[in-house]
Amino acid sequence: MMRRVHPAWLVLGALTFCMMAASGLRAVFGVYIKPMEAEFGWSRSALSGAAAVSLLFLGASGPFLGRLADRWGPRRVITLCVGLLGFGAIGSAFVQQLWHVYVTAGLMMAIGAGGVALSTGSTLVARWFEKRRGLAMGLAGGAMSAGQLVVIPLATGLTLVFGWRASFLSLGIAVLLLALPIAMSLIRNDPEERGGAPYGATGPVKTAAQAAALQRAGRVSFADAARVPQFWLLMTTFFVCGYTSNGMVLTHFMPHALEHSFTELQASSALGVMGAMNVLGTIGSGWICDRFGRRGPLATYYFLRGLSLLFLLYVWDVPSLHVWAAVFGLNYISTVPPTTTLTANIFGRYSVGELSGWIFFAHQVGAALGAALAGWVFEWTGSYSAAFVSAAVMAIVASALALGIREEPVHRVGGPDMAPHTPPGGSDTPRGTRGAPRSRAETGVPEMVSGTAGRSDSPRETRGAARPPASPVIGGS
């Protein structure tokens, strides 16, 4: 007799489809730049400004949308943002003025895609999965890469056959007809809404009222998290992720390859290899995190990224270019599953949205800085070498910083444990203690307690062992 599929996997399937559609549609703007130039006579810099506005709002909306996901539930945020994304694409098909592009593609589509990205996706995964949380986040992250691999060529083909307006319109309608109903019908905020428990959970099933009470008591705000070193280490390392990936490589790989006598076809094929390996690397990263822990793999990914950036300086022919693209693609988004899982394990599944939004915002700031700095370096020196070396050094430094992240649950005094902790290869077990004095809690002054129970970096962690006492109060008097 076949085992019944846990509803968490259905929710994850709906999430990955929506994330694939959102990531792909947000990334198609570059396909329409030249057709818009030809029709309206707008300059490249003016249209690039719309792309810059899009990236800005994509990052800046993360903390706000993540906070809404924590408070309202991710289902409502994802559904509204899928609709906003679709209507933004439809509106882009009818633009007549440059400012129309800034509003539809630069603002509406960016905020819509931001609501179906890391902050809300990690919130949903953290609520539905206790076991296999890393794999689930790897599948969601892989969907974002797969979306660009699927939607960008589709947009290009539609543009060549029907024109850019029909292409934009068709993709917007497709999102509203496909992704929006899937989000509305299959995504649910919590398993307790269906009378169930998260995948891999042990212990009694909570009612919806009990789950709501845990959400209210167990939420860690940005101000609270800012008092904990782990949060700043997560933000700093993900800042480096943005600097070395979206900022440096995604923006400047093509001109770097052309400067070194590779053709556009050869360089674009290398990007295709990178994208395909990106999907495999992200899914594999999630599996590795579940089996071997998160801190060690995260440090390894950054170290390998640093080495691959140095190797790029010595690529000499097409085979070596494709080898580099495959290696870099494997760890391009592989940092997402350990980063988001660490966030959930340390700060709790009801705080993931807002805090992941801030961490993703740091990623986008790093991407913007990397893109700008590499351009300045090229203008000053006539080469990207110094820029890629700086990225390699930063990645290696991030590797060392990742080793300093303590995977210990942090929670408010007087509140519940923040998250079911995910040991490698096993089900989640709540960790941390709540034995701090009540006197400060009664004053309303938030205190953060870091539980020291069970560092989960070792795959041989034993469940059910006696728990050591809590560490001193962080930020207390």
Q: Is the pLDDT of residue 427 over 50?
A: no
What contacts 434, CB < 8 A, 6 or more positions away? 411, 413, 414, 415, 416, 417, 449, 470
Q: Specify the pLDDT at position 304.
A: 94
Q: What is the residue type of 153?
A: P
We report the CATH number of the domain holding residue 258 as: 1.20.1250.20
Residues 169-183: what's their mean pLDDT? 96
Residues 412-420: what's their mean pLDDT? 46
Would you say residue 252 lies in a domain? yes
| 235 and 363 inside one domain | yes
| 373 and 333 inside one domain | yes
| 171 and 314 inside one domain | no
- pLDDT category at 169 given cuts 50, 70, 90 is very high
d(CA 395, CA 151): 30
| 187 and 245 inside one domain | no
Would you say residue 358 lies in a domain? yes
Q: Specify the pLDDT at position 37.
A: 87
Domain holding 299, by residue range, is 218-422+442-458
For the stretch 121-131, what's the b/e string if a residue is b when 16 or more beta carbons lie within 10 angstroms of its beta carbon? bbbbbbbbbbb
Both tokens of 405, joined, read 């992240």
What contacts 9, CB < 8 A, 6 or more positions away? 199
- Of 57 and 418, the structure prediction assigns the larger pLDDT to 57
- Of 252 and 79, the structure prediction assigns the larger pLDDT to 79
| 181 and 240 inside one domain | no
Residues 3-9: what's their mean pLDDT? 81
- pLDDT category at 438 given cuts 50, 70, 90 is very low
pTM of the model: 0.72
Residues 9-38: what's their mean pLDDT? 89
Residues 434-448: what's their mean pLDDT? 38
| 47 and 175 inside one domain | yes
d(CA 85, CA 102): 14
| 126 and 228 inside one domain | no
Give the Å distances, CA to CA, from 46 to 38, 94, 101, 141. Answer: 13, 18, 10, 31
Q: Please give the tally of structural domains in the chain.
A: 2
| 180 and 237 inside one domain | no
Residue of 83, 92, 81 lying closest to 168 (CA atoms): 92
d(CA 336, CA 145): 12
Dump pLDDT digits (tens) for 98-111: 999 999 998 999 99
